[in-house]
């Protein structure tokens, strides 16, 4: 949570100073750099006390050199000066989310122990997006949930349809009717 708060300090000025195309490009670029943090050898270099901060900064600057962007270069240098190069994955994720909020596009997941076909996933995403006034893309995640659960974190939406809950409500309704 602390990292996300720090990341927002860097994202806010970017959101205010860059146009939408620049933000999209920056998000893509930072997401690409963030993927490098998934590599064990890269992390060894970035977390090593034997490698200077300027060398770490230069490594990342070399990774983003093709963008030829002073905004990106300045962001990387600023992060290096403050010893926060490790925040790049968090910044990339938060920037993508913030752009999504502005564009009203969100990602979510459908959990179920039964396979949900792509047509159903697309239909649920379309209908939920229409109801929420946003564009939502959903992905199916196999789980042990007995029913269907839809989550869209950035919209704070969670919808559950549980077979056991339905059965309990059905029994309760029948007992009341008797």
Q: 164 or 69: whose pLDDT is higher?
A: 69
Residues 2-44: pLDDT tens digits? 888 888 899 999 898 888 888 999 999 999 999 999 999 999 9
Residues 35-76: pLDDT tens digits? 999 999 999 999 888 989 999 999 999 999 888 888 889 999
Whole-number Å distance between alpha carbons of 22 and 75 = 14
pLDDT at 57: 92
What interhelical angle do 53-63 and 20-36 show, nearest 10?
120
Q: Are β-strands 147-152 and 135-142 bridged in parallel, bridged antiparallel, or unpaired?
A: unpaired
Cα dihedral angle (62, 68, 72, 78), rounded to 10 degrees? Answer: 60
Question: What tokens appear for 56 in the block?
Answer: 């770490």
What structural domains and CATH numbers belong to the chain? 2-100 (1.10.520.20), 105-177 (3.30.2320)
């Amino acid at each position: 949570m602390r990292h996300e708060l720090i990341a927002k300090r860097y994202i806010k000025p970017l959101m205010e100073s860059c146009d939408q195309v620049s933000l999209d490009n920056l998000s893509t670029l930072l997401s690409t750099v963030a993927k490098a943090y998934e590599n064990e050898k890269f992390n060894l270099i970035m977390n090593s006390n034997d490698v200077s901060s300027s060398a770490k900064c230069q490594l990342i600057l070399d990774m983003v050199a093709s963008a030829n962007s002073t905004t990106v270069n300045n962001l990387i240098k600023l992060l290096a000066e403050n010893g926060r190069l490790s925040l790049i994955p968090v910044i990339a994720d938060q920037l993508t989310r913030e752009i999504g909020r502005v564009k009203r596009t969100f990602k979510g997941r459908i959990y179920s122990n039964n396979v949900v076909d792509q047509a159903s996933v697309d239909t649920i995403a379309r209908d939920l997006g229409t109801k929420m006034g946003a564009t939502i893309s959903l992905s199916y995640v196999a789980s042990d949930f007995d029913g269907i659960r839809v989550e869209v974190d950035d919209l704070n939406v969670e919808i559950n349809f549980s077979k056991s809950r339905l059965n309990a409500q059905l029994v309760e309704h029948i007992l009341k009717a008797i």
